[in-house]
A and B are shown apart, each in its own frame.
Chain A
């Protein structure tokens, strides 16, 4: 066992060289973005993109936040993402709890409908989705975007959560019924706390997905005041394409929540997102 996994020193050196090369390929763009985001002007970016800034102008961030409206975009992104997380987690746990435990006619049909949502990417259904949102008068509103993003998130969430709910001992639920718990109480007080790890995974997936989503807001939002960061970035680019240092600052602002969360809980991120990616 040991023998296969153990590297001799010169092998270790070679392996390190290869891995380090890719690690640098990953990290350099981030580094360049960070470095150039604090350079005072475009000239400094263009002249020496690899050099450390002579002046560290952190006010770029304040300007991006303030004058380039990134603050507003950030707020919209937060509203959309957090609402999507809450709605999709709440509704998905409710649906999964019933699907996993309660026997009733039509249960398989409902489950199959959700499975179809897992199998066929919702991207392909953009035209009808657009019509539904417009007909309901939800076009150009955050509510519309939130509802669509939550709905898009639901099948995967239901899929992950039903498996988890099925893993909860049915006797615990029966004990709660004997204790007088109604389905609402059993769901909220007994079973929900037991699937916390799955909820964390689903919440993470929902957040990352809705924070990063570009097409759905693009389709449904027209007013610039409603734009999330993803649209705001694009907007900024079309308007001030040459303001590279500001672009970099905006990019860093957009990536910050995900990257910080990733650094804090990289294990949960890697496991959760890999799992989510495989299920999708």
Chain B
């Protein structure tokens, strides 16, 4: 278990600035997920933490010890890779014990540790096989076993489930979650899949273009995204964005008009806004009603319905609205190209200015976000 602090981490490859001044604080035993689109720097950040790459500037503290100049092995971290990265020529046992053998630990001790890890991951019967004789899920378990054996202070996962098929992925996700409960180790996990992030994380770090967009608990990110990017990234299907115009703005509320004409009043600090400003209204698919009930309604044309049984995705569009997805419970049976009226409630809506930043909620509402450390980046 370890407490991790990243201080002003910058990474440049020549002229390319990959990481911009990253500051992070990871508590002991916390499960932190770095999430973001590909190329956002999340893997580089993880590799920097592992010691595989050196930051251009900045410091990394592991339990108050600055490890930025230390070898990966001396940092007492272990890493699980996307491609499993097992040594193909070695048996499962040799794969798992490689680090300990390098460290010249005694044989008996190595055996005990390997056996324990193997039991924990139900790998005992596979110990003498080579990686190529294992299935994808088994390989990833060996990779995790290799990490456990070293009893690291910090576990690092680099998209460990991306190479698995959908069903196994869910399975492994649960196993990793259990593993975290059992080991109570600090874990850092990188993924581009927001579902993995939401289900696994104690704390999510959303990255874009090498910058931290927001840090917070999954539900906090879901309910209070600080900007349009985070709002769009967290949640599936994606949040819908509609163009709206400010009709009236005060320091307590903002009234906006939808393209259809309906108006909606939200409890936001609107003192920097003025009538006529263009804003973006965000509303999640699951918060839209199909019967037009709510604080405002909008007429759209139905394009396609995807019935999944338990729920349905209703794809609609309008004259100025390119795409709007509604998530409805159960089956929906409506003819294509029919016109429908959707309804939204003001308290489910998000409002973003032209820079994409969320228009702040009223201070009185801050109780909802009391334990958050909303970091809004410019």
Contact = CB atoms under 8 A, between A and B. Distances in A.
B87 A178 contact: no
A239 B79 CA distance: 69
Contact of B79 (A175, A181, A189, A194): A175
A190 B83 CA distance: 16
A108 to B, nearest CB: 15
Interface of A: 169, 171-172, 174-181, 185, 189-190, 193-194
- Interface of B (DSSP majority class): loop
Given A180-B71, A180-B72, A180-B73, A175 B103 contact: no
Counting chain B CB atoms within 10 Å of each CB, the highest count among A178, A193, A194 belongs to: A178
Given A181-B102, A185-B102, A176 B79 contact: no
A175 B85 contact: yes
B52 A176 contact: no
Contact of A180 (B47, B50, B87, B103): B103
Contacts of B47: 174
Chain B interface size, as a band, is: 20 to 34
B73 A179 contact: yes
A176 B150 CA distance: 13
Contacts, number: 60
Contact of B73 (A178, A190, A193): A178
B85 A174 contact: yes
Interface of B: 47, 50-52, 71-73, 77-79, 81-83, 85-89, 98-99, 102-103, 143, 146, 150
B89 A194 contact: yes
Given A179-B102, A181-B102, A171 B82 contact: yes
B83 A169 contact: yes
Contacts of A190: 87
A24 B102 CA distance: 58
Contacts of B143: 175
Contacts of B78: 178
A185 B73 CA distance: 13
19 contacts: A171-B82, A171-B83, A174-B50, A175-B143, A177-B72, A178-B51, A178-B77, A178-B79, A179-B73, A179-B102, A179-B146, A180-B71, A180-B72, A181-B73, A185-B102, A189-B98, A190-B87, A193-B89, A194-B89
A176 B94 CA distance: 12
A198 to B, nearest CB: 14
A171 B85 contact: yes
B102 A178 contact: no
A179 B85 contact: no
Given A174-B81, A177-B72, A178-B73, 11 more contacts: A171-B81, A171-B85, A172-B88, A174-B47, A178-B52, A178-B72, A178-B99, A179-B73, A179-B98, A180-B73, A193-B89
A169 B102 contact: no
A180 B99 contact: yes
